[in-house]
Amino acid sequence: MIVKRGLLILGWLLITSVVAGAEVEGTVTLEQLLREGDQNNPGLIRIAEQVVAAQTKIDQVASMPDPTLSLALSSYPIESLTADESPMTGNEIRLAQTYPFFGKLSARRSVASQQAFGFDAAYQDARLQLRQKIKDAWVRLLFQRQALILTQRNLELIDDFITLTETRYAVGSGLQQNVLKAHLQRSKQLDQLLLLQQQEEATRAELNSLVGHATDRPLLTNTELSPASDRFELDALQEGAERRPLEQVYRAQREQAQAQRDLARLDYRPDFTLWGSYRWRDDGLSDGGGDFVSAGVSFSLPVRRERRHAAVAEADSAVRLSHQRRNEWRNQVDLDIHRALTAFEQAGRLAELYQTGILPQANQTFQATLSAYRVDQVDFLDLLDALMTLYRYQIDHIRAVSEQRRSLAKLEAAAALDIDLLPNQTAVSGER
């Protein structure tokens, strides 16, 4: 009776979950959540705005300085302030344009362009990392919901045990301690159920937050966790990490530092200014008041050598620092890939062990203990222990599957396995 009841409960839960997933509108899939996150995640939107701001800076730093227009009232006598008294008196308009030394504007453009390119590459890598976070939360949500189903089913079986022990105790063939033990185990299972419900709600809120929705939005699912069958080689994964957009970020930082060094060296060269002026005088002057034109060129004098030496040294240090940052990052990525691959393989082997060995053995043990209990060959505590052992192994099995899936998500992000799955999208406003 107990086994039949348990099987019926399990079958009913599985069937209703599938039917609910098929009939209820609004069920979500992982692919849908990934698309929503790519479009609505606040962190991604913030990085996209940084890219736009960096791109608009390029034209600012690479454009010529504005010309200068001057107006002057020149050489008026202090006593009279008249324009027709001295031949030196006149009014002048002057236009001047400063030209940076050849190559400076190009170097400034290169610095700003590499910075903008680096921000855009960082945006693309952030999209990859967001996919990993969404997948991780999704897997945890499925694990918690499957664990809730198992726990609820186990509670139903324990309720059957309570009924059985109370009946036996009432007719004098059972022990009171068995009744108390069954009630205690039910309380423990109820505590586990409440904990799983709390974790499920927190994970659902986290997942909604990642995709830019209200944290209390319902997430109906009709998907169960299943083991991944993927196979990977460590060397291929580590080589594939070169496709990570962050690789382009560090390359852009290196080229930006080199362009900054070129600009610092060009600062030793003078800028020059071309100017022209027109001076008109009063017609009542003794010499007839003829007008004058003038033109000239002026140069800046880069005499503050210490400041320029320091700027070049700073740029040289930035070039070396960019190399070291890239090497440090790459070393960490290789380590992350190695760890994730090890965890993925170990979790996969453990899930297979549970599926093919431990779970069938635990189920057989429970069935045998139940049969023996019916004929009073084992104690009730042995039956309860067999049931709880089977339950723990079932939870451990789906936990191993979830850990394998979470490790796979880490691998996909660290080794850029999902780079070709990203929607073709840039951070420029209007293309989001």
What sign does the dihedral 240-243-247-251 (CA atoms) show?
A: positive
Averaged over successive runs of 10 residues, the pLDDT of the chain (432 residues) comes to 43 38 63 91 91 90 89 77 68 90 90 91 92 94 94 91 81 78 89 94 94 89 86 88 89 91 89 89 67 89 87 90 92 94 94 93 92 85 91 94 94 86 59 39
Strand order from edge to edge, sheet including 90-99: 68-74, 90-99, 272-280, 292-299
Residue 188 lies in a domain: yes
Answer yes or no: are the C-beta atoms of 252 and 121 closer than 8 Å: yes
Residue 72 lies in a domain: no
Residue 69 lies in a domain: no
At residue 426, the pLDDT reads 60
Q: Which domain holds residue 244?
A: 2-61+120-267+318-421
Residue 428 lies in a domain: no
At residue 2, the pLDDT reads 45
Q: What's 255's domain CATH number?
A: 1.20.1600.10
At residue 63, the pLDDT reads 87
Residue 330 lies in a domain: yes
At residue 327, the pLDDT reads 92
At residue 83, the pLDDT reads 62
Q: What is the 3-state secondary structure (H, E, C) of 337-401?
A: HHHHHHHHHHHHHHHHHHHHHHHHHHHHHHHHHHHHHHCCCCCHHHHHHHHHHHHHHHHHHHHHH
Residue recorded with tokens 């099987």: 7
Q: Is 430 exposed, middle or buried (0-12, 13-18, 19+ CB in 10 A)?
A: exposed
Query: What is the rounded distance in angstroms from the CA atom of residue 14 to the CA atom of residue 250?
Result: 50
At residue 92, the pLDDT reads 86
At residue 285, the pLDDT reads 64
Residue 97 lies in a domain: no
List pLDDT tens digits, range 173-231. Answer: 767 887 888 889 889 999 999 999 999 999 999 999 999 999 889 888 888 888 888 88
Residue 159 lies in a domain: yes
Residue 193 lies in a domain: yes
Count of the separate structural domains present in the chain = 1
Residue recorded with tokens 């580590």: 238
Kindly report the backbone phi and psi dihedral angles of residue 135, in degrees, each rounded to the nearest multiple of 5, phi listed first: -60, -40
